[in-house]
Amino acid sequence: MARAAFLAAALLYAAVVAVSAVVLPERVPVHFGPGGEADSYSSRAWAVTVDVVLGAALTALFAGLAAWMRRVPLDLVNVPHPEHWKTPERAPELRRRLRDDLYGIGAATLLLLAALTALVTRTAVSGSERLPWGALVLVVVYLVGIGIWTVRTLTVRYRPAGTKPTHDEG
């Protein structure tokens, strides 16, 4: 399921960039100050090129890392309860969970970028000089979500079945 979500997010991001390539004006706001006002501009070609390269690089990074989890030496992996997870009989499940985690974080990241690209496109097309406040909300939701994901990973996701949280886990 995580892999499917990642692929869907990558396709959505590609679709948003494709639409922006068609509808963006020649002058595109590409940076916004703390109040949301545009303070730097580029050409449509440059903005779309950056979006394509960024999306391709992040997609390749997350997909590549997820694929690498199938064969990475487990002594390179830092995971809670390594004495449990790094045994030969549990290594396949550990590798599956690591892949799912990477696909999930990759999907969330690509969804954030798709939404931000859509907001920048809307701002540019409307002729507005201000990014909607929703952009800040999206970034905060993403960061809080990643924080929750991290805490859950450290305290619940990799806790061996049937064990209680240790003092270190909260």
pLDDT at 170 over 70: no
Q: Given this model, what pLDDT does residue 168 score?
A: 56
Query: Can you tell me the distance from the alpha carbon of 83 to that of 80, in angstroms, rounded to the nearest whole number?
Result: 9
Between 163 and 72, residue with greater pLDDT = 72
Mean model confidence pLDDT for the chain: 93
Once rounded to an integer, what is the mean pLDDT over residues 114-136? 93
pLDDT band at 126 (very low <50, low <70, confident <90, very high): very high
Between 134 and 103, residue with greater pLDDT = 103
pLDDT at 120 over 60: yes
Of 166, 151, 147, the C-alpha closest to 83 is 166
> How many residues are listed for the chain in this entry?
170
Give the pLDDT confidence of 140-169 residue by residue, as tens digits: 999 999 999 999 988 888 888 777 766 555
Query: Can you tell me the distance from the alpha carbon of 4 to that of 103, in angstroms, rounded to the nearest whole number?
Result: 9
Of 84, 80, 85, 82, the C-alpha closest to 169 is 80
Q: Given this model, what pLDDT does residue 161 score?
A: 79
Q: Given this model, what pLDDT does residue 68 score?
A: 97
Q: Which residues of 14-24 are buried (b: 16+ CB within 10 A; e: fewer)?
A: bebbeebbeeb
